């Protein structure tokens, strides 16, 4: 009886173990799309990783080096104009984004431009019964004299000191947001005044609309859980697919999290049009490693020193947004990212050259 009991326990354990192993294998199974994109994006298979503990210890050491570094003057350029926004894509992480730009920047510009133009082309007067709660004409009442009405209609700045016609006229209003957020599946349901909420959260200049910079920020930050979801439109769909493949490639221990060490070891295999441009792997390696650590410091939320796929995707998109999007336009050059301050002819790191001269 005892032997039969022990045999039953052993069989149950074996079945459970086999089931668990199968579940883990299924979780780790790479989709065909990710596999195809990884082959397009990388030149070699990912390297093996150190333990998470060793990776975290290295990240801590590099953070200490960063604090002690004296070579900071060339990294101070930043054009972030929203007080609550981190300096994504700038400071030390600027090198990390410089390296990625040849692969990711054009796709970001293409998809961000389409998103903005599609929203701007949407009817801005009404969506069904929904009207713009921020319409300045709401402030003009029937009790006003005609001369006073004409005065306000001629210059909305008299109603709102934050009004700038050149920006306001090409910004997205609540009606347009109300329609596109619903049509593009940015919201789970259409209850409540979700477009007003979005403007309340992201209208940094307070003019009642989302300018280009505010709109692209809102599209990324408010949709973190929607990245890559079926049916969601105009949300960097192609770029997110690329980032998913990059994440899967770099996550060499397949635990669903990236460490700075994993990124540093495996990102060097990324296929880039001109391998010598903005190449962070080579001379002055300490600044390069610090650039990856700085990206992690600005991005990680759920687990100390590690990034899940959602955080990694959002971090890359926010860095590209901060470097390429202004209030009235989306840039395709480095006039905002200021890469020329860091690199000579896209190949020589100026900070490293300065350190040799000392």
How many residues are given for the chain?
358
DSSP assignment string, 113-139: HHHHHHHHTS-SS-BTTB--TT-GGGG
Instruction: Give the other-Cβ count within 10 Å of 239's Cβ.
Output: 23
Instruction: Give the other-Cβ count within 10 Å of 69's Cβ.
Output: 14
Domain boundaries, the chain: 32-132+169-358
Over its length of 358 residues, how does the chain's per-residue pLDDT go in tens digits? 444 545 444 445 444 444 444 443 444 567 888 888 888 898 877 776 666 566 556 655 654 554 444 333 333 333 345 566 789 999 999 999 999 999 999 999 999 999 999 999 999 999 999 999 999 988 888 888 999 889 988 989 988 888 999 999 999 999 999 999 999 999 988 788 999 999 999 999 999 999 999 999 999 999 999 999 999 999 999 999 999 999 999 998 888 999 999 999 899 999 999 999 999 987 666 667 889 999 999 998 877 789 999 999 999 999 999 999 999 999 999 999 999 999 999 998 887 666 665 5
| Short-list 236, 130, 112, CA closest to 182 | 130
Nearest 10 degrees: Cα torsion 48, 53, 58, 61: 180
Q: What angle in degrees, to the nearest 10, is found between the helix axes of 212-221 and 309-324?
A: 170
């Amino acid at each position: 009886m005892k032997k039969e009991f022990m045999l039953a326990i052993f069989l149950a354990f074996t079945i459970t173990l086999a089931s668990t192993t199968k579940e883990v294998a299924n979780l780790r199974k790479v989709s065909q799309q990710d596999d195809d994109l990884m082959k397009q994006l990388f030149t070699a298979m990912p390297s093996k990783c150190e333990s998470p503990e060793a990776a975290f210890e290295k990240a801590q050491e590099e953070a200490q080096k960063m604090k002690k570094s004296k070579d900071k003057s060339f990294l101070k350029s930043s054009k972030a104009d929203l007080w609550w926004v981190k300096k994504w894509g700038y400071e030390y992480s600027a090198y990390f984004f410089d390296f990625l730009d040849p692969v990711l920047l054009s796709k970001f510009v293409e998809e961000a431009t389409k998103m903005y133009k599609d929203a701007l082309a949407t009817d801005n007067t009404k969506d069904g019964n929904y009207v713009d709660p921020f319409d300045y004409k709401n402030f003009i009442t029937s009790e006003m004299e005609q001369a006073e009405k004409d005065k306000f209609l001629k210059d909305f700045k008299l109603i709102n000191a934050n009004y700038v016609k050149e920006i306001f006229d090409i910004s997205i209003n609540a009606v347009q947001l109300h329609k596109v957020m619903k049509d593009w599946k940015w919201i789970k349901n259409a209850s409540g005044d979700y477009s007003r909420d979005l403007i309340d959260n992201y209208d940094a200049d307070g003019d009642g609309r989302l300018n280009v910079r505010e709109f692209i920020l809102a599209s990324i930050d408010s949709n973190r859980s929607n990245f890559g979801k079926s049916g969601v439109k105009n949300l960097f769909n192609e770029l997110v697919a690329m980032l998913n493949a990059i994440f899967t490639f770099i996550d060499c221990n397949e635990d669903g999290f990236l460490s700075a060490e994993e990124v540093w070891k495996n990102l060097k295999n990324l296929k880039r049009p001109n391998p010598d441009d903005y190449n962070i792997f080579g001379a002055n390696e300490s600044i390069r490693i610090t650039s990856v650590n700085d990206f992690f410091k600005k991005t990680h939320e759920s687990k100390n020193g590690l990034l899940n796929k959602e955080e990694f995707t959002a971090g890359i998109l926010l860095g590209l947004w901060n470097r390429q999007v202004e209030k009235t336009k989306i840039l395709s050059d480095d006039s905002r990212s200021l890469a020329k301050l860091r690199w000579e002819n896209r190949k020589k790191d100026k900070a490293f050259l300065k350190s040799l001269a000392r």
